[in-house]
Chains A and B, each alone.
Chain A
Amino acid sequence: MIELKDIEKYYASKGVKSYILRHVSTTIKQGEFVSIMGPSGAGKSTLLNILGMLEEPTYGSYSFMGEDVTTLNERKRIELYRNHIGFVFQAYHLIDEMTVEENIEAPLLYKKVPGAERRSRVADILDRFNMVAKKDLFPNQLSGGQQQLVGIARALVAQPSIILADEPTGNLQSAQALQIMELFKKLNEEEGITIIQVTHSEVNAAYGSRILHLLDGVIKEDVNL
């Protein structure tokens, strides 16, 4: 599903190149649950952003579902992105001015899903996440764990084939973190959604099927659990 070949990323400042990623090559198949680990500054988030098409690599090729992302134009890339990728952030990144329901609905609007289907899918997901009672609340009226659930619900409502999560439990207490990881595992096993997460926690990584260890922009280890 994902194929990275010789991905490089660096920022040039005053003629000095500071590398974030060097010669990253790997393949991730449909249905895998991958954790990217490594110390701060290793390039984990950058790698995730490149996978999520939010950043472009300086060199190298990235093919997503057989299409070379680096050569696609914006319209096609957005198309690909809208239909297949869901993002979950450490800081949730919900839109403060919108209610829970509206936040979840937003990606469907951009996907141009018709109104009736939109409503049924939002209702469906609210039901699944036990949040029907909270649908009219604003993000700042929810706890961190609940906010992250909304974040995940928002990522799932567009029915992506892959979820990219950047330290999804980083801001949460351990009990809530556990709940989120269980949810990921369930989604991965029952619905076959590919999950790639960046994490610091060995515990969280243990939920996955594969761990990529990153150090100074290079893949040091690739472990299948």
Chain B
Amino acid sequence: MFKLNLKIALRNLWKHKGYTFINLTGLAIGMASCILIFLFIRFQFSFDEDHKNEDRIYRVVTHWKYNAFDDVSSGVPVPFAAAARNEIAGFEKVGSIFKRGGIIHVNDQNGKTTIKTQQAIYYTDPDFFEVFSDIKWKYGKPQQALSAPNTVVLSEGFAIRFFGNTERAIGKNITLGINTNLEVTGVIQDMPQNSSFPLGIIVSYQTFYGRNNSNWDSVNSSSSCYVLLKEGVNLDDVQVQLDQFNSKYYPIQKVAGNQNNQLQALRDIHFSTAYDNFGESTIGKSEVYGLAIIGLFLMLTACINFINLSTAQSVNRSKEVGVRKVMGSKRKQLIVQFLTETFALSLIALLVACVIAEMVIPSMQNLFNGQIEFSLFSHPIILLFMAILVVIVAFLAGFYPALIVSGFSPALAIKNKISLNGKGLSIRKVLVVFQFSITVVLIIGTLVIVRQMEFVQKKSLGFNPNAVAMVSILGDSTSVTKFNTFREQVLPVSGIESISFCQSPPLSDDVNATDFTYNGIKNKDFELRTVRADENYFKVFDLKLIAGKIFMKSDTANGCVVNETFLKKINVSNPQDAIGKMLDASGNFMPITGVVKDYNDKSLKEGISGVAIFPGKNQYWNTAIKIDAKKIMPAMKEVERIWNRTFPNGIYQANFVNDEINSYYEGERITGVLFKVFAGVIIFISFIGLFGLISFVATQRTREVAIRKVLGASTIELVKMLNGSFLIMVFIANLIAWPLAYLFVKKWLAGFAYQMELTAWPFVLAMCISMLITLLTVSIRSYKAAVANTIDALKYE
């Protein structure tokens, strides 16, 4: 029976090629989008999965509560690990890890450098690998390999890269920085991509210069601590111990901001966007769920198409149903038969969807800058998902039509006298309105996102980032003495306009913030952002002073320039009043020499902070070089040559301020691309569905159209009549979509401190777009119906 059903199903699909094509395309595209979204979501949820004891592993983080704001850090004070090991009974193991960048030299037997590379270095104690006891060691054991100073453990990938193979690496030396020699004592597996700590080069914690820091008040987000709870220990009990620990080490009067340490579950790390992590790959859960909802809607839209088309088409099948019923088929059997058909179609759609997905995967990887590798067959759960998808789609799409068709009265059906007006159509109308509401929401969303990104790109930042290159420089004592030489050699190069030593461009998320004392009064309401830069910084970035003057050329902090927001926050209304007042911030006691006009110091998602700019030669790590826009290429080549000559131990790194600023909107850029793609897909699916539906309506109303024609209606009048109801449906869909879209874009825009003005135009434009496409799609078919031969329709049967 099933075989026969399948055969008939395939024959029927083949017979109505046009409808089958529409159904298949819609379903396949919907499924492909769903599969891709699922791949992405699964990847996100797979972060840090499959660790042994994963439910007992926690990261320790630090929280602050100031009067005006709360702050968090993924780091802990350096002394935390040692103290916690002794005092918190619930912790079985406490592992410290510290990440920083470093330059690695690999030398051959003759002492010649073969590899020089900038890499992330992880200083780790052996206990870390007891917390993560399932990280595989190819050679060596954590306790021996990482106990002594000057030892290093490499991942397989690095061992092969540095020494050709893993075996040969053991016992060899690599150099960190200029003169720290490290002996390779172990090799571990490569960490998977979905890890929040992509360990590559692991140096023993004993080598870490800051290991003896005993300051509880200093927290660096790179200094992390992972703990393994004792088996069977209740999290609440550990929390009590931690609270006692907090009150012992962070007495309120001594440590600012009510600092305390908290636990964060391993599997939550990837979704905690407020905290850093070593993989630099956090994503908000709301984004993931948002994407899932879009995927669901895409699939629903495709299913709605299917329902509408097959119910519409079912009239053509009425005779078959009648004959079958006369022959004794039960309704249930007919339902099974029609579901078989849907199932066959969904299966074919899935195959097509897999092909589409496979083709789209490279561009998707590209969208995420190749950080993520996707594959359709990487995990059994993906196949399971596909199977479930087919079954659900087949039922969702096939059940209602099967119910309708199988319910035809045999006497009428056999005479082809079935009409599907009334109730059936109104359900379809509701579905169409629903479908188009989703479409319109996505169109509006896309328009707003694109527009806001344009706004962000065009907004004046208060400084000029154009044609400024940031070239990194080394901070070690030898290199610092060469700054002036470098500057003097670079300045005469043709095209170089000015040059400044600094930490970062004016807009940067590389923030140093500190508490401060102004004019002898200690401030507790907000933290002051400190920016180290020399006096040329203002010229390079075209920063405008509104009062006072720039500090004198100096190697140390002899004076500072603050911004308007800082004055506003400390309630100084006249900038002149601040000049000469003393500011005590991060260990520097200096007079305010000038006030700079406000500029955006963070991405436009955030407001302007209070800023103080002052010199500090030992803490510069960048050179900002302003170049004549026409001579960028040759000038940069020359700068690179001079740089390599001046700092032979370093690795030349340069990027343009504009690129750096744009990188802060990477997430928004990806959202924008996704919205464009999905809006396109959903528009496509909706409109082929619409085309199918108008085909049905036109067929249903052939006779009426013919009569009206005989009564004197012109083609245009008939097209108008057929189109009318569709335009009304799309219009209603717009009305439903507007408030939803408004809520959504309002929420999205709330992520920006600087928002474009939200006017009616994206809404109106979305309506125009949807109405126009509707008109086009529907008119193609209704025109055909209106010019069809009148006589054929009116022939007496």
Residues of chain A touching chain B, judged by Cβ–Cβ distance below 8 Å, are 49, 52, 54-55, 74-75, 78, 81-82, 87, 89-91, 93-97, 106-107, 110-111, 154, 158, 167, 170
Name the residue on A nearest B795 (C-beta).
A45
Return the 8 tightest CB-CB contacts between A and B, nearest first: A82-B712, A110-B712, A107-B711, A93-B707, A87-B710, A110-B713, A91-B796, A54-B790
Chain A, residue nearest B790 (CB): A54
Contacts of A94 in B (CB 8 A): 707
Across the interface, do A93 and B710 meet the contact criterion of CB distance under 8 Å?
yes
Please, which residues of chain A bring their CB within 8 A of the CB of B704? 95-97
**A90 adjacent to B796 (CB under 8 Å):** yes
Q: Which chain A positions have C-beta within 8 A of B715?
A: 74
Q: Are A78 and B703 in contact (CB under 8 A)?
A: no
**Do B714 and A74 touch across chains, with their CB atoms under 8 A apart?**
yes
- B711 CB to nearest chain A CB (Å): 4
- How far does the Cβ of B495 sit from chain A's closest Cβ, in whole Å? 70
Q: A55-B791, A91-B796, A95-B704 are in contact. Are A110 and B717 (CB under 8 A)?
A: yes
B369-390 CB mask vs A (1 if < 8 Å, else 0) is: 0000000000000000000000
Q: Return chain B residues, CB-CB under 8 Å to A78.
A: 712, 714
A129–B790 alpha-carbon span in the complex (Å): 28
Question: Quick check: is B768 within 8 A (CB to CB) of the other chain?
Answer: no
What's the nearest-Cβ distance from chain B to residue A77, in Å?
Answer: 10
Chain B interface, DSSP helix/strand/loop, else mixed:
helix
* Chain A residues, Cβ within 8 Å of B706: 93
Other contacts beyond A110-B711, A167-B796: 20, CB < 8 A: A49-B791, A78-B714, A81-B712, A82-B712, A87-B711, A90-B796, A91-B794, A93-B703, A93-B710, A94-B707, A95-B707, A96-B704, A97-B421, A110-B708, A110-B712, A110-B713, A110-B717, A154-B711, A158-B712, A170-B796
A101–chain B nearest beta-carbon distance, Å: 15
- Expressed in whole angstroms, the Cα–Cα distance for A89 and B794 within the complex equals 9
CA A54 – CA B790 in complex, angstroms?
A: 7
Interface string of B709-725 (1 = CB under 8 A from A): 11111110100000000
Query: Cα distance A74–B704 when bound, in Å?
Result: 20
Which residues of the other chain, A, contact B714 by a CB distance below 8 angstroms?
Answer: 74-75, 78, 110
Instruction: List the B side residues contacting A110 at CB < 8 Å.
Output: 708, 711-714, 717
CA distance A205 to B708 in the complex (A): 29
24 A-B residue pairings within 8 Å (CB atoms)? A54-B710, A54-B791, A55-B791, A74-B714, A75-B714, A82-B712, A87-B711, A90-B796, A91-B794, A91-B796, A93-B706, A93-B794, A95-B704, A95-B708, A97-B421, A106-B708, A106-B711, A107-B711, A107-B712, A110-B711, A110-B713, A154-B711, A167-B796, A170-B796
User: Inside 8 A of B794's CB, which chain A residues have their CB?
Assistant: 89, 91, 93
Which residues of chain A have C-beta atoms less than 8 A from B796's C-beta?
89-91, 167, 170
Q: How large is the interface on B (under 10, 10 to 19, 20 to 34, 35 or more residues)?
A: 10 to 19
Interface centre among B706, B708, B712 (most CB of A within 10 A): B712
Question: Chain A residue with minimal CB distance to B703?
Answer: A93
List, in ascending order, chain B residues with CB within 8 A of A167's CB: 796
What B residues does A87 contact at CB under 8 A? 710-711
Determine how close the nearest CB of chain A comes to the CB of B692; give it in whole angstroms: 22
Q: Can you name the residue of chain A whose Cβ is closest to the Cβ of B710?
A: A87
Instruction: Please report the C-alpha to C-alpha distance between residue A87 and residue B709 in the assembled complex, in whole angstroms.
Output: 11
CB contacts (< 8 Å) of B711 on chain A: these are 87, 106-107, 110, 154
Interface residues of B in 391-435 (CB under 8 A from A): 421
Contacts of B708 in A (CB 8 A): 95, 106, 110
Hey, which chain B residues are within 8 Å of A95, CB to CB? Answer: 704, 707-708
In angstroms, Cα B346 to Cα A145, docked, is 51
Q: Tell me the complex Cα distance, A163–B707, Å.
A: 15
**Min CB gap A148→B, angstroms:** 13
Which residues of A have CB within 8 Å of B713? Answer: 110
A138: min CB distance to chain B, Å: 13
Cα separation A179 to B421 with both chains bound (whole Å): 34
Residues of B within 8 A of A154 (CB): 711
| Chain A residues in 8 Å Cβ range of B710 | 52, 54, 87, 93
**Chain A hits for B712, CB < 8 A:** 78, 81-82, 107, 110-111, 158
A97 to B708, CA, bound (A): 13
- Residues in B with CB closer than 8 Å to A89 are 794, 796
The complex places the Cα of A75 from the Cα of B710 at a distance, in Å, of 14
Interchain nearest-CB distance for A93 vs B (Å): 5
Chain B stretch 87-128: residues in CB contact (< 8 A) with chain A = none
Q: How far is the CA of A110 from the CA of B716 in the complex (A)?
A: 11
Interfacial chain B residues near A97, Cβ < 8 Å: 421, 704
Residues of A within 8 A of B790 (CB): 54
* C-alpha spacing A56/B794, complex, angstroms: 16
A54 to B713, CA, bound (A): 12
Q: How far is the CA of A111 from the CA of B421 in the complex (A)?
A: 28
User: How near does chain B come to A185, taking the closest CB pair, in angstroms?
Assistant: 24
Which residues of B are found within 8 Å of A93, using beta-carbon distances? 703, 706-707, 710, 794
Task: Determine how close the nearest CB of chain B comes to the CB of A99; give it in whole angstroms.
Answer: 15
Tell me, in angstroms, the Cα distance from A78 to B787 when the chains sit together.
Answer: 13
Complex CA–CA separation, A74 to B713 (angstroms): 11
Closest B residue to A87 by CB, please name it: B710
- The distance in angstroms between the C-alpha atoms of A74 and B710, with both chains bound, is 13
Nearest CB on B from A194, distance (A): 18
Expressed in whole angstroms, the minimum distance between the Cβ of A150 and any Cβ of chain B is 12
Q: How far is the CA of A170 from the CA of B711 in the complex (A)?
A: 21
Q: How long is the Cα–Cα vector from A93 to B706 in the complex, in angstroms?
A: 9
Taking CB as reference atom, which chain B residue is nearest A77?
B714
Cα(A82)–Cα(B712), bound, Å: 5
| A54→B789 CA distance, assembly (Å) | 8
Q: Which residues of B contact A49 (CB under 8 A)?
A: 791
Shortest Cβ distance from B707 into A: residue: A93
Q: A111–B791 Cα gap in the complex (Å)?
A: 21
> How far does the alpha carbon of A52 sit from the alpha carbon of B796 in the complex, in Å?
17
Which of chain B's residues has its CB closest to A154's CB? B711
Closest chain-A Cβ to B705's Cβ sits at a distance in Å of 10
The CA of A110 and the CA of B718, in the complex, are separated in Å by 10
> A42 vs B86: C-alpha distance in the bound complex, in angstroms?
111
Closest Cβ–Cβ distance, residue A203 to chain B (whole Å): 20
Q: Complex formed: what's the CA distance from A167 to B709 in Å? A: 20
Which residues between 700 and 753 of chain B lie within 8 Å of chain A, taking CB atoms?
703-704, 706-715, 717
Closest B-chain residue to A75, C-beta based? B714
Interface set, chain B 661-713, CB cutoff 8 A to A: 703-704, 706-713
Q: Which residues from chain B contact A91 at a C-beta distance below 8 Å? A: 794, 796
CA distance A94 to B704 in the complex (A): 8
Distance in angstroms from B266 CB to nearest chain A CB is 65
Distance to closest chain B CB from A44 (angstroms): 13
CA distance A136 to B535 in the complex (A): 91
Name the CB-closest residue of A to B789.
Answer: A55
Kindly provide the distance from the CB of A143 to the nearest chain B CB, expressed in whole angstroms. Answer: 18
Taking the closest CB of chain A, its distance from the CB of B5, in whole angstroms, is 36
B350–chain A nearest beta-carbon distance, Å = 41
Nearest-neighbor residue (CB-CB) of B797 within chain A: A91
Nearest CB in chain A: distance from B119 CB, A: 76
**Measured CA separation A153–B115 after assembly (Å):** 99
In the bound complex, CA of A158 to CA of B715 (Å): 19
Point out the residues of chain A lying under 8 angstroms from B791, CB to CB: 49, 54-55
CA distance A158 to B711 in the complex (A): 9
Nearest-CB residue, chain B, relative to A107: B711
User: Closest CB of chain A to B795's CB: distance in Å?
Assistant: 8
How far apart are the CA atoms of A110 and B790 in the complex, in Å? 17
- Among B421, B704, B717, find the residue whose CB has the most chain A CB atoms closer than 10 A: B704
B-chain residues with CB within 8 Å of residue A107 when the two chains form the complex = 711-712
Q: Which residue of B lies closest to A106 (CB)?
A: B711
Interface string of B766-797 (1 = CB under 8 A from A): 00000000000000000000000011001010
The chain B residue with its CB closest to the CB of A81 is: B712
For the complex, what is the distance from the CA of A7 to the CA of B536, rounded to whole Å?
Answer: 97
Cα A95 to Cα B708 in complex, Å, equals 8
Q: Which B residues are CB-close (under 8 A) to A55?
A: 791
A36: min CB distance to chain B, Å: 16
Give min CB distance, A92 to chain B, whole Å: 10
Q: For residue A90, which residues in chain B have a CB less than 8 angstroms away from its CB?
A: 796
